[in-house]
Structure formats: C-alpha cells, structure tokens
Structure 1
Amino acid sequence: MIVLYFLAPILFYKMQNAALLVPGLLWSREKPHRIKIAALAFFLIILALSLLEINGAPAALAASLLLLAYGLFYMKRPFYLPAILFLLLFQGGLLAFRGTFDPAALATALSYTFTNLIFVASEEAFLREVLRKKLGSGFFPALLLGLLWGLWHVPFHPTADYGTIQILHAAALSLLIDSVYDVSGLPTAIFLHSVHNALPLAFRAAFSPADHLLFFFGCCAFSFFVTKVTAAKPERSYYRRKEKDEEDT
C-alpha cells in the first residue's frame, strides 16, 4: 500500500488531481462497499476529465459538498478553534507582511476551499487513518509523517527548491493538524488543510523561503504547547469525557 502511495505522483505527475485521489482509494480499501464504490467512481471521473483536458472543478465541488454533509454528521468536535486561529493569524500574518489582503479575492479563496475539499480529504484520510496508525502519535511521528507527505509531492515539480520548501511546509502543517487530531477528528483535519491551501489566494503575496521556516517553527511551538496542555489535563480530553458520559448512561 505504501509503495502504491508513492507511485501515484510518479504515474499521474501530469494529472495532479487524479494523483491526489489515490491516497483516498487506498484508504477506502478497508471501508464499506459504498465508500469504495464512491471513491473509485470519483477517481475515474476525474481521470477521464483530466485525459480529455476538461475542467473538473464542478465535479469536485459537487463531491466536496456531499463530503462536507457526511463529515458534519460524523464530526466529533468541529473546527477546533485554537488551530484555526493559529493558522489564520500566523499564516495570514506572514502573507500580510509580504503583501496586502485582497477583499476581491476572498470569494475565489472561499470557492477554492470547497472545490479543494475532496482532494484534501483523500490526502488526510490516508495520512491520519493509515500512515499515522503505522507511525504512531507524538511530535516526532507527526514530523516524519509530514516529511513523507512533503516528499510525496516532489514528483509534480522535481526541483531542489520546490522539494525543500514542500517538505518543510508539509512537515509544519502535519505538526499543526496532528496536535489537534486526537481531540477533533478527521473532519477538522480536512478543514484545516483546505483552509491552509486556500488562504494565500486572499492575499496579493506569497511566502518567501524565510517564511516557510518561520511557519515551521511556529507550528513546532504550537504542537509542543498543545501537546503539553493536553498531557497535563488528560481528564479534559473530549473522547475521555464522551466515554465517561456513555458509561454513566
């Protein structure tokens, strides 16, 4: 399965959207038949659209809205607030420092958030529910997970500059998401990932190489702080409280 995961961006390097759906296909192998069929059907639709050079955004948006409805139904603790605020303030602050906020581009960023949701869900489902189970939880497993995920993207743009930046930034985002994953679940991981990808579209700016390094250290600090707070107050864990309520019932 891991071999197939790393082969995807090599086999589909000219069709990135199709490659992004391969992790979701691998994740769906252990899921009920309806999820397997849905994942395979959407992959084949996007692959056909890519081969025909047709814009697949409408199909992605429709699938993303269905996924959002499904995710909201099963969500444990929606949109974990500290991580969202950190992402908006830190990433947004770095982008604002380099340029200016563009209100006219906000609609584009919002649209991209939802259109991109289905592809992000494919990545996160495999990363959090397959690879993470093999690597374990904690700072260094999350860091390794991010490094592997960043390496996975390199075949799309096989240059030293892109590889370095992609691996560093993926490691940072992995630490941010993993720090709240245990108490917020997969839907929140998907939402954070999608907002992260769309946020730069709302600014007339891009990260400099130094900004990627700052973002990495900022995510390291956030991950360390959240992990320490969670470890110091285990009785307040969402899932432990939920289990206790069920036992009382």
Structure 2
Amino acid sequence: MKDLVKNPIGIVALFISLIYSIANLLLGATAKSLTPDERFPIVIFIVLFPVVILGVFYLLVSRHHGKLYAPGDYKDDKSFLRTLSQEERERKLEKEAEEALPTPAVTEATAAPTSPEAQPASAQRMTDIRNELRVIESLVISKFESELNQRAERDVGIGDTGVSFDALFQTNGKLTFLEIKSIRHPGAVSMLLDRVLYNAVVADRFMNSNFKLILAVVYHFDKEELPRVESAWRRRIEKCPAAIEIKFIPRAELDV
C-alpha cells in the first residue's frame, strides 16, 4: 500500500481498485434487497467502468506518459527520454520554418519591395515551408533508418531540459540522435547552428557523454556553394565538446 502512493500511477490504481471493490461489495451485500431497477445502475457501472478506465489509460499512456511517473521511479533521471507532445512538435516546426526563411539582408537584396497585397502570401509561404519541412524530416529519417538498418524513435525530448531532436537510434547502449536542418541560402547559418550546438552540449552533459548527434543539413542551393558553407559549419562544430557528425544532403537527392 505504501509503495502505491509514491507516484501518480499507484494513486490512480489505488483509487480505481477502491471504487470497483466498493461497487462489487455493495452489489453483493444488497443484491437480494434491491429491486431490479435499483440493481441495474450498479450492474451497468460494474460492466462499463473497466472499459472506460481502459480508454482513459490508453489516452494517458499514448499522450501524457511522461506525467505518470514520479522522479523516484528513475534511478537516474538523466536517462529519461520522452516523446514530444503535439504542441511541442508544432512549436519546434514553427521555429524551424522561421529559421528556413531567408535572412532580412538576403530578402532585401534579392526580392522586390513587399506590398500590402503580398502579406497573405507571406503567411501562405510559411505554411508551405512547414509542410516542406515535414516532408524533408520524414524522408531524411527514412534514409537513415535504411542506412543504419534500424527503426528510429521520432521527436524525442531529453528530460526537462527543453532540448529535443528529430529522431533517436539506440545501438549497443549508445544513443545516437538525429537533427535535421533545411537551409535555403548559403548565408543562413549563424543562429541556426548556434542553437544546434547549444542543444548538443546540454544533451551531452545530461546524458553523461553517452551521446552522439548526427546533424543532417538539407540544402536547396547550388552544389558549387556547398564547400564554403561546409567549411564554415565544420570549423564551428570542431570547437563543440559534444560528439557531432555532420552530413550535407542536397534536397534533390531526397526525391530520388
């Protein structure tokens, strides 16, 4: 009994057991004295209660499993990985869509002045970029699943650090994370890469160095521009204490 109240799962299980036991005890003790109309609600409750509880537990486990455990349930909370909620996925995708847009300097140099009539088109463009990012992430993850011959866990967060990655592969106890970035212009580097490196350092410390990150960069520009971009990215990654492997993938290659 003492162990049951140490975490949310135990409390819920105890609560359910008490309710169901009381209902059965009530029916057994009063079955002969109750009229059929009085017994009917109790019987319906006893029959439907487990079905309802099964449905509720399914929703909790599939969507909010991270809230069902107490900190004491983990011998080392640094090993706790969780699947991102739908809201977290959408926020992450929104941020990545903003990062994928050309920088203001690039926009001013290459685009005509924006008219008021063009504002709705900007919102549509963000929607198109988000949809494109979903496709790219799915294609890249599938590509690495084939290369590593292993199914990935998608949209993985690390504890309560706020750090998350697009996919996770576990091989011989080694945790290899995959983060996918899409760049449309060779100048779009600084802030995007800073966030990736910061997340890698936090995750590496949180996982006690049992961590490796594969950074897959999907580029949309001409291949002739790649050497300059690749050199800049690799120089900065080499200074990062976390284990990071970077791979550049042309967008056209994913459609093959």
**Which of the five TM-score ranges fits, normalised by the shorter chain?**
under 0.3
Per residue, is there more strand in 1 or in 2?
2
Per residue, is there more helix in 1 or in 2?
1
Which has the bigger relative contact order, CA under 8 A and spacing at least 6? Answer: 1
